[in-house]
């Protein structure tokens, strides 16, 4: 079957109107216009099942976990641990012990930098990242370099925002200890060749950290197939709550790593002379976690799984193609990143970054807002990526599976209005 046939086949049963019914926030007027929510890379909207899971936890189940003998505590513990097991299946990790609840992608990456980096790196060791990383996948490594004397190396991207594998291979050497890359760029949408990146890193004995913040919402993710050592993502970007996320860590590595934070729940025994630590994953989960968040994240993952990550990717690709066609026709609009390469459209998630001759991105964002269209304008926490493309900021429209072709029409109409207002 051709890719196109597969796509249309898998789209036959994708009923976007039905899907939208599950997202209450989408059904409102903003400034007297139907809300068009195209800021999904910043955060996604929540289906009713996720909202219900949070409300059910606080309304019926609320108790602290892992420590109570009473009924409610055991119920809450059961629900939280069931969520962990569900997320393990979703990522195809080998064991529940490899699934660590964190606050989000940012905390996941900081955990690896502190715990793995702090105990394994020394002066002149090297850490490799790419030019288009989110600040969350830059600054933890800079801080680690400052603490250890390690050196940060940056893989360039081409004019389409594509990761340059040959340059990457040439940067690797026997001092490379960590390679940290985004699964997909939040600024450009480019999907990085993680499997190949991991293979080359492992050949050099380096570990691979994947920032999956923009991967999990748009792509099927299998950590064993990617063969990464760590994979971090945020609940709120995958239709779940804020304040909760996941760090997957390869068991052989996290077993040997020291705790990141100390406190309750992460110990076996404590005395003033000596403390011993809990088994995985508790060793990395000090203090009371976001219990409602973890439980509701399971509902979000169930929702995405029921829709099917492959169908989501296929549907979003049709939206992306449509959007690129429409936006390419707008006077003075320049797409930033991989946009012009039609043959590589399957290599992108639904993120479209652009600038316009007529107006600054912030003014464009403001005009679109008056039309009810929510986009992001700014550097998207990726200032080096902006610098690479010679712009201080872009407008970013980012898609989710509940967006429609009509909403892309509304975006294009808003952008034509920008040209009218600013005389472009």
User: Residue 140: which of 152, 132, 130, 123 has the closest Cα?
Assistant: 152
What's the min distance (Å) between Cβ of 421 and ligand PLP? 29
What's the min distance (Å) between Cβ of 304 and ligand PLP? 16
Binding mask 14-33 for ligand PLP (x = CB under 6 A): --------------------
Residue 211 near ligand PLP by CB under 6 A = yes
Residue 110 near ligand PLP by CB under 6 A = no
Half-sphere exposure of 284 (CA within 13 A, CB side): 29
Q: How many CB atoms lie within 10 A of CB 392?
A: 12
Which of 129-137, 193-201, 314-322, 327-335 is the region at the interface with ligand PLP (rule: CB under 6 A)? 129-137
DSSP state letters, 340-352: T-GGGGGGB-SEE
Active site residue 228: no
Between CA 14 and CA 6 the distance in angstroms is 13
Which CB, 66 or 361, lies closer to ligand PLP? 361
Beta bridge partners of 176: 126
Query: Which of residues 214, 317, 398, 419 is near ligand PLP by CB under 6 A?
Result: 214
Which CB, 7 or 234, lies closer to ligand PLP? 234
Residue 104 near ligand PLP by CB under 6 A = yes
Residue 106 near ligand PLP by CB under 6 A = yes
Extract long-range pairs of 219-223: CB within 8 Å, 24+ residues apart: 219/183, 219/184, 219/191, 219/309, 219/313, 219/349, 220/309, 220/310, 220/313, 221/90, 221/91, 221/92, 221/183, 221/309, 222/91, 222/92, 223/91, 223/92, 223/93, 223/248
Q: How many CB atoms lie within 10 A of CB 329?
A: 10
Which CB, 134 or 218, lies closer to ligand PLP? 134
Query: Which of residues 40, 44, 61, 105 is near ligand PLP by CB under 6 A?
Result: 105
Residue 213 near ligand PLP by CB under 6 A = yes
What's the min distance (Å) between Cβ of 396 and ligand PLP? 10
Which of 5-13, 44-52, 210-218, 246-254 is the region at the interface with ligand PLP (rule: CB under 6 A)? 210-218
What's the min distance (Å) between Cβ of 349 and ligand PLP? 10
Between CA 339 and CA 190 the distance in angstroms is 9
What's the min distance (Å) between Cβ of 184 and ligand PLP? 7
Residue 316 near ligand PLP by CB under 6 A = no
Which of 59-67, 134-142, 287-295, 317-325 is the region at the interface with ligand PLP (rule: CB under 6 A)? 134-142
From 13, 145, 228, 381, active-site residue:
381
Residue 234 near ligand PLP by CB under 6 A = yes
Which CB, 138 or 333, lies closer to ligand PLP? 138
Residue 186 near ligand PLP by CB under 6 A = yes
Encoding tokens for residue 162?
């594509």
DSSP state letters, 26-68: GSSEETTEE-EE-BTTT-----HHHHHHHHHIIIII---SSS-
Give the containing element (helix H, strand E) for 99. strand 99-102
What's the min distance (Å) between Cβ of 128 and ligand PLP? 17
What's the min distance (Å) between Cβ of 382 and ligand PLP? 8
Between CA 417 and CA 363 the distance in angstroms is 12
Residue 182 near ligand PLP by CB under 6 A = yes
| Token pair 């690896």: residue | 112
Contact between 100 and 125 under an 8 Å Cβ cutoff? The reply is no
Contact between 15 and 315 under an 8 Å Cβ cutoff? The reply is no
Helix (H, G, I), strand (E, B) or coil at 157: strand
Query: Which of residues 136, 190, 317, 353 is near ligand PLP by CB under 6 A?
Result: 136
What backbone torsions phi and psi does residue 19 show, to the nearest 5 degrees?
-60, -40
* Residue ranges that bind ligand PLP, judged by CB under 6 A: 41, 104-106, 134, 136-137, 182, 186, 211, 213-214, 234, 381
Residues with catalytic annotation?
381
């Amino acid at each position: 079957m051709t890719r196109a046939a597969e796509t249309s086949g898998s789209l036959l049963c994708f009923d976007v109107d039905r899907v939208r019914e599950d997202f209450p926030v989408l059904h409102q007027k903003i400034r007297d216009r139907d809300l068009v929510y195209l800021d999904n890379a910043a955060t996604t909207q929540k289906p009713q099942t996720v909202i219900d899971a949070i409300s059910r936890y606080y309304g019926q189940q609320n108790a602290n976990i892992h420590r109570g003998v009473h009924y409610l505590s055991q119920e809450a513990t059961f629900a939280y641990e069931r969520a962990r097991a569900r997320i393990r299946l979703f990522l195809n990790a080998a064991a529940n012990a490899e699934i660590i609840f964190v606050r989000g992608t940012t905390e996941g990456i900081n955990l690896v930098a502190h715990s793995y980096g702090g105990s394994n790196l020394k002066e002149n060791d090297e850490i490799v990242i790419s030019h288009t990383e989110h600040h969350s996948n830059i600054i933890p490594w800079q801080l680690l370099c400052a603490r250890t004397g390690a050196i940060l190396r940056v893989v360039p991207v081409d004019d389409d925002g594509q990761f340059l594998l040959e340059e990457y291979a040439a940067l690797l050497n026997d001092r490379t200890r960590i390679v940290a890359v985004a699964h997909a760029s939040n600024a450009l949408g480019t999907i990085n060749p993680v499997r190949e990146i991991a293979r080359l890193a492992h050949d050099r004995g380096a570990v691979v950290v994947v920032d999956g913040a923009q991967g999990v919402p748009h792509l099927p993710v299998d950590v064993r197939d990617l063969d990464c050592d760590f994979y971090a993502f945020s609940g709120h970007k995958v239709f779940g709550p804020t304040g909760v996320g996941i760090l997957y860590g390869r068991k052989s590595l996290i077993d040997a790593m020291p705790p990141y934070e100390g406190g309750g729940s992460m110990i076996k025994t404590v005395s003033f002379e000596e403390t011993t630590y809990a088994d995985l994953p508790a060793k990395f989960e000090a203090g009371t976690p976001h219990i409602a968040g973890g439980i509701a994240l399971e509902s979000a993952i169930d929702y995405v799984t029921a829709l099917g990550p492959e169908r989501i990717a296929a549907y979003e690709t049709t939206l992306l193609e449509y959007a690129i066609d429409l936006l390419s026709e707008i006077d003075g609009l320049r797409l930033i990143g991989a946009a012009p390469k039609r043959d590589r459209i399957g290599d992108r998630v639904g993120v479209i970054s652009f600038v316009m001759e007529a107006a600054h991105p912030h003014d464009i964002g403001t005009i679109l807002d008056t039309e009810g269209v929510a986009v992001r304008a700014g550097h998207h926490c990726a200032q080096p990526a902006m610098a690479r493309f010679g712009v201080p900021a872009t407008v970013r429209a980012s898609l989710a599976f509940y967006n429609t072709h009509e909403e892309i029409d509304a975006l294009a109409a808003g952008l034509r209005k920008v040209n009218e207002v600013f005389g472009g």
